[in-house]
Amino acid sequence: MKLQKILNNFQKLHPKEIDLSLDRILNLCEKLGNPQDKIKAISVVGTNGKNSTINAIFSILKEANFNCNVYTSPHILKINERFIFDNKELNNDKLADLFEKVENINDNEPITFFEILTASYFYKAAEYPENINLIEAGLFHRFDATNILKENLASVTSSISRDHLDWLKKDEQTIEKIVFEKTSKLLNSNIIVAKQSNKETMDCIKKTISQNPSNKLFFNDDFSYSVSENDFFYYEDKLGGLKLPMPNVLGQFQLENVSTAIATLRTLDLGIKDEYLKKGITKISSLARLQEIKSGKLKKLVKNNKLIVDGSHNEDGARVLNEYLQSLGCNKHVIISMMANKEHEKYISFFKNVSSITTIDLKTQPNSISGKDLKKKFKSIPNVQYQPSIEQAIKSINLKEGDLLLITGSLYGAAEVLSLN
């Protein structure tokens, strides 16, 4: 297959998966005619909620008849998910043609996989100068390949927490350093900062960007939301309040992402009518972000019980996921698989009040922790078992009518669920 062959070649261009520097992508983009200078973009940085915030913005913009290009990472099922132009995923043939052009121009120069993908996105995006680009930062931001824009419409900062610590020195594995890496180089435009998990993180962000002359909006200070008992979503900022229908997302933290999306679009004053906001937030589509599985092979195994998949994999992700679980008046069962480089003990510490936990192997990923080794880390939590696979795990759980089953711990694990289904 042409596309897969090119992707295999891309992965051989640099000995490291990640090598934090902007030099290589700047050199390639110069050969491509600096396409990143020809686009209008909303950039989203952070740890958790980046993809969900982009999906909410995208849904509203589509409803308001805007044409968008979208660049996100990682993909869940196929790489085409990362490359949306004119509101549609690029198909295999067009994506292969795009990569082939960029590959030829790069001429075997060393460059990481993510960098050449990002350069390819910019190259294609420049063909649509009037479109709004929604760009998700990769690892951190300061030396991330997406951080070569000279200007943008807005920089959105989603929730920031501890993750990818293996890319930082031991003495730099602090929230202050992570905030610095993610926010110190935000462009001078509009900065919208989402709700953070604690005051310390929000104060750290405010301090880090204090010298940035951008127009700044902070959750609670400048925009907020509430939910009524009648299932209405109330959004409020300095422009006034909006009474909106409940977004089609699960979990309080997803409502935080929706409020950040609305704040961003109202700040940009794109002329989006309230009716488009109302419709857009009820049509949000997110893969592996508290996604309910309503049909397919695995759904048949759980019968009439609710099946949820979520790709959260860090401490803050587990915290908000547990908040969602505790808001439900039913028995909860959790299946977990994780990568080896994550903070396992901190992640799993949030799942104490569930009916059962099953650890499984993530066989598609050589850098994952085995289910047996993961089970050993649940020292203080009862009702933990190990099963080799997702299907065996589901079959081993004594589900009663009205129970909920959550599969979580890794985006790779979420991808396996969706591919099985």
Task: Report how far residue 406's alpha carbon sits from residue 356's, in angstroms, rounded to the nearest whole number.
Answer: 11
- Residue 341 in domain: yes
CA distances to 262, 284, 333, 344 from 278, rounded to whole Å, are 10, 11, 34, 39
pLDDT of res. 168: 65
* Helices and strands per DSSP (H, E), number in the chain: 15, 17
Q: Which residue has the higher pLDDT, 374 or 16?
A: 374
The domain boundary, picked from 280, 301, 321, lies at 280
233 and 97 fall within a common domain: yes
Task: Report how far residue 73's alpha carbon sits from residue 51's, in angstroms, rounded to the nearest whole number.
Answer: 8
The CA dihedral of 120, 121, 127, 132, to the nearest 10 degrees, is -170
224 and 346 fall within a common domain: no
224 and 351 fall within a common domain: no
pLDDT of res. 383: 82
320-353 pLDDT tens trace: 999 999 999 999 999 999 999 998 999 999 998 8
246 and 394 fall within a common domain: no
pLDDT of res. 82: 98
Q: Do the strands 215-218 and 190-193 form a parallel or antiparallel pair, or are they unpaired?
A: parallel
Count CB neighbours of 172 within 10 A.
13
pLDDT of res. 92: 98
pLDDT of res. 166: 64
pLDDT above 90 as % of the chain: 87
240 and 388 fall within a common domain: no
Q: What is the mean pLDDT of residues 122-149?
A: 95
Query: Is 257's pLDDT higher than 80?
Result: yes
- Residue 131 in domain: yes
- Angle, helices 2-10 vs 113-125, to 10°: value is 120
Residue identified by tokens 């099922």 is: 77
Q: What is the mean pLDDT of residues 35-57?
A: 97
pLDDT of res. 380: 79
pLDDT of res. 88: 98
pLDDT of res. 167: 61
- Residue 286 in domain: no
- Residue 342 in domain: yes
- Residue 389 in domain: yes
Q: What is the mean pLDDT of residues 79-104?
A: 98
Categorize the per-residue pLDDT at 366 as very low, low, confident or very high, splitting at 50, 70 and 90: very high
- Whether the CB-CB separation of 252 and 48 falls below 8 Å is answered with no
Q: What is the mean pLDDT of residues 9-27?
A: 92
pLDDT of res. 162: 76
Task: Report how far residue 86's alpha carbon sits from residue 128's, in angstroms, rounded to the nearest whole number.
Answer: 8
Task: Report how far residue 182's alpha carbon sits from residue 112's, in angstroms, rounded to the nearest whole number.
Answer: 20
- Whether the CB-CB separation of 135 and 43 falls below 8 Å is answered with yes
Q: How many domains does the chain have?
A: 2
Categorize the per-residue pLDDT at 165 as very low, low, confident or very high, splitting at 50, 70 and 90: low
- Residue 395 in domain: yes
Question: Coil, strand or helix: which one is 132?
Answer: strand
264 and 385 fall within a common domain: no
Domain CATH number, residue 342: 3.90.190.20
pLDDT above 70 as % of the chain: 98
The domain boundary, picked from 224, 255, 280, lies at 280
Domain CATH number, residue 209: 3.40.1190.10
pLDDT of res. 170: 75
pLDDT of res. 53: 98
Q: Which residue has the higher pLDDT, 382 or 84?
A: 84
- Residue 365 in domain: yes
Query: Is 19's pLDDT higher than 90?
Result: no
59, containing H or E segment: helix 50-63
- Whether the CB-CB separation of 123 and 28 falls below 8 Å is answered with no
153 and 240 fall within a common domain: yes
pLDDT of res. 97: 98
Range with top average pLDDT, 127-136, 180-189, 376-385: 127-136
Question: Rounded to two decimals, what is the model's pTM?
Answer: 0.94
Categorize the per-residue pLDDT at 187 as very low, low, confident or very high, splitting at 50, 70 and 90: very high
- Residue 47 in domain: yes
Tokens matching residue 382? 């009862």
Query: Is 234's pLDDT higher than 90?
Result: yes
132 and 275 fall within a common domain: yes
226 and 77 fall within a common domain: yes
Query: Is 141's pLDDT higher than 90?
Result: no
The radius of gyration computed from the CA coordinates of the chain, to the nearest angstrom, equals 21
Q: What is the mean pLDDT of residues 378-400?
A: 93
The domain boundary, picked from 280, 301, 316, lies at 280
DSSP annotation of 110: -
Q: What is the mean pLDDT of the chain?
A: 94
Query: Is 365's pLDDT higher than 70?
Result: yes
Domain containing residue 92 = 2-280
385 and 298 fall within a common domain: yes
Residue identified by tokens 């297959």 is: 1
102 and 242 fall within a common domain: yes
Largest CA distance in the chain: 60
Q: Is the bond preceding 15 in cis, omega lying within 30 degrees of 0?
A: no
414 and 273 fall within a common domain: no
Task: Report how far residue 219's alpha carbon sits from residue 202's, in angstroms, rounded to the nearest whole number.
Answer: 9
- Whether the CB-CB separation of 322 and 404 falls below 8 Å is answered with no
